[in-house]
Structure formats: C-alpha cells, structure tokens
Amino acid sequence: MTGYWVDAAAVGFFALEWLVYALTLEHTTYGRDSLSARMHVYREIWVRNLLGREARMVDMQIMASLQNGTAFFASTSLIAIGGGLTLLRATSDAIAVLGTLPFNLSPSPALWEMKCVGLILIFIYTFFKFAWAYRLFNYVAILFGAMPPVSERDTPEAEAHVIRTTRVFENAGQHFNRGQRAFFFALAYLGWFISPWVLFVSTAAVVIVIWRRQFASNAWQAMGS
C-alpha cells in the first residue's frame, strides 16, 4: 500500500508542476516577460508590416511553413498515441521484461495499465492542441489574404483587421506552445515507468529546462535587447 501512495504523490507532483508552470507562463505578470510573450510583439509587427506591402507572397510562404511544422507535430502525436496503445496491449510482455532486470521494477498489471492510459491521455491532449493550432494558422492565412490594400492602410477598418489578425495569430501560437509543453511533460512522465522517484526527478528536470528556455536562454536575452 505504501508504494501506491508514493506513486500517487509522484503523479500529483507531476500534475501540479505542469499546472503551476502553465498558469505562471500564461496568466501572471512574470510570464509576460517570457520568450513566448516577447515573440508575440513581433507577430503584431509582422501583421502591421504586411499591411504596408503590395506583394505578400513571401508572408504566405512563411505562414505555410508554420502550418507544415504544426501538422508535423500533430502527426507525431498520433504516432505517439499508437505507441501508447501498443504498450497497453503488451502489458504482460512489458512486465516480464522489467522482471528480468537486476532491480525489480515490474509493477502490477493494473498499475502498468494506469501508466499507459495516462501517457495516452497526454498525447491525446497534445494532438488536440496541435490540431487546433493548425486550424488557427489556417484562419490567420485567410486573414492575411483578406488584408486591406496599401491604399487603405490608414483607415479604421485596416486597424481593426490588424488587431483581429494579431489576436488570432497569438491564439494559434499559444495553442502550439501548449502542445509543445505537453510533449516535454510527456518525456518527464516516462520516468514513472521506471519508478515514482524517477518521476519526481524527471518532472523537476523538465520544468527547469523549459523555464530556462523561456526566461534565461540566449534567445530570451536576444529578444530583450
């Protein structure tokens, strides 16, 4: 019974770290100085510069590359879901393999299946985030195409369109970032397949790494200069 409490505590720590990190990044003053927040400023600059260009083919090509990258991650999420289902079906084989290791890491069949289901749910969440981000990037491409001509750049309608496009663009980037964050935490979650103690360590390590990339990386410093 004690072992199950350790597992529950490790999973609770994992979920709490994910939630606190996400809320801090997206809904606090501290998070407004993150790398993602700094990049959002350039989304608006891009849209405003687009309004002043006659030829917008290059902008559409950049948007297509963003869509392709999002589609790649969405496809990868589906593959990961398939891998999780394979692990779930191979419960007996996996436990037998773990039982042959020098250290006894074999969980009960029920616990192994719980771990697999949790991993599958994370990747399902990831897929939905990337799929919705892809859809939003499509909407941004449509809004780019509907951008008023240069001759109308100083009209209230053009300003409203810039704000509208920037908001949808920001939302697309936010969902993409959430999908990537879920991928990182899925890597931490894999530590639970070894031991709940490893899950504690892997979760803390992932939070440190992604925090550093958002608030202390070379890219963050460059965007603030």
The answer, yes or no, to whether residue 67 has pLDDT greater than 50, is: yes
What's the pLDDT at 2? 47
- Determine which helix (DSSP H) or strand (DSSP E) holds 32, and give its type and residue range: none
Domains of the chain, residue spans: 13-24+36-217
What's the pLDDT at 106? 66
What's the pLDDT at 1? 42
Write the pLDDT tens digit of every residue in 79-132.
Answer: 999 999 988 888 787 777 766 666 666 677 788 889 999 999 999 999 999 999
The answer, yes or no, to whether residue 208 has pLDDT greater than 80, is: yes
Q: Chain centroid to CA 223: how far?
A: 21
What's the pLDDT at 143? 92
- Which class for 48: exposed (0-12), middle (13-18), buried (19 or more C-beta within 10 A)? middle
Say which DSSP state 108 is in: -
Q: For the chain, what is the mean pLDDT?
A: 89
To the nearest 10°, report the CA torsion of 119, 200, 93, 116.
Answer: -20
What's the pLDDT at 99? 67
Contact partners, residue 207, CB within 8 Å, separation at least 6: 17, 21, 188
% of the chain with per-residue pLDDT over 70? 93
Q: If phi over 0 gives left and psi between -120 and 50 gives alpha, with beta otherwise, what is residue 47?
A: alpha
| Over residues 140-151, mean pLDDT | 89
Write the pLDDT tens digit of every residue in 156-199.
Answer: 998 999 999 999 999 999 999 999 999 999 999 999 988 899 99
